[in-house]
Copies of this chain bind each other. A is one copy, B any other.
Amino acid sequence: MAASTLAEVAKLAGVSPATASRVLNGSSRKPGEDIAERVRQAAESLGYVPNAQAQALAKSSTGLIGLVVHDIADPYFSAIARGVQQVAREQHRMVLLATTGGTPVDEREAVAAFAARRADSIVIAGTRSTRTEDAAANLELAAELDRYCRNGGQVAVVGQPIVGAQETDGYHVVTIPNIALAEKLATSLAGLHDGPFVIIAGPAGLATSDERIEGFQRGLAKASLSPAEVIRAGFNREGGFEAGKELASRIQPRQSGEPALRHCIFAANDVMAIGAAASLRENGLRIPRDVAIAGFDDIETLRDFRPSLSTVRLPLEEIGSLATLSTVEHHRETSGQITGQVILRRSTEPS
Within the assembled complex, what's the spacing in Å between the Cα atoms of A72 and B9? Answer: 37
> Given that A278-B304, A301-B304 are contacting pairs, would A53 and B56 also be in contact in the complex, using a CB cutoff of 8 Å?
yes
Contact B57 A152 (CB under 8 A): no
Q: Given that A52-B116, A53-B118, A57-B53 are known contacts, is A78 also in contact with B85, CB under 8 Å in the complex? A: no
Q: Which residues of B are found within 8 Å of A306, using beta-carbon distances?
A: 306
Give the CA-CA distance A95 to B96 in the complex, in Å.
6
Contact B75–A94 (Cβ < 8 Å): no
A60 within 8 A of B: yes
- Write the nearest CB–CB distance from A150 to chain B, whole angstroms: 6
CA distance A50 to B115 in the complex (A): 9
Counting CB contacts under 8 A, is A169 at the interface? no
The residues of B that contact A79 with a CB separation of less than 8 Å are 73
Q: State whether B94 touches A96 (Cβ < 8 A).
A: yes
- Nearest CB to that of A83 among chain B residues? B73
Is A151 on the interface with B (CB-CB < 8 A)?
yes
Bound CA span A317–B56, Å: 33
A191 to chain B, nearest CB (A): 28
Check A300 for interface membership: any CB of B closer than 8 A: yes
Q: Is B73 in contact with A73, judged by CB distance below 8 angstroms?
A: no
Give the chain B neighbours of A117 by CB distance below 8 A. 52-53, 94
- Give the distance in Å from the alpha carbon of A62 to the alpha carbon of B56 in the complex: 13
A89 — nearest CB in chain B belongs to which residue? Answer: B99
Please name all residues of chain B whose beta carbon is closer than 8 Å to the beta carbon of A300 when the two chains form the complex: 73
| Cβ-based interface call for A147 (8 A) | yes
Instruction: Return the contact of A49 from the options B62, B99, B116 (Cβ within 8 A).
Output: B116
Which residues on B sit within 8 Å (CB–CB) of A2? 60, 151-152
CB-CB under 8 A from A62, the residues of chain B are 53
* Residue A349 interfacial (CB < 8 Å): no
**In the complex, what distance in Å separates the CA atom of A98 from the CA atom of B94?**
7
| Chain B residues within an 8 Å CB radius of A305 | 304-305
A residues near B (Cβ < 8 Å) are 1-3, 47, 49-54, 56-57, 60, 62, 67, 71-73, 75, 78-79, 81-82, 85, 89, 94-99, 112-113, 115-118, 147, 150-152, 237, 274, 277-278, 300-301, 303-306, 317
A-B contact pairs, 11 of them (CB 8 A): A1-B150, A3-B118, A51-B116, A53-B56, A53-B57, A57-B57, A73-B81, A75-B75, A89-B99, A94-B117, A277-B304
Interface pairs A-B: 8 shortest CB-CB: A73-B82, A3-B151, A73-B78, A52-B116, A78-B78, A95-B97, A52-B117, A53-B56
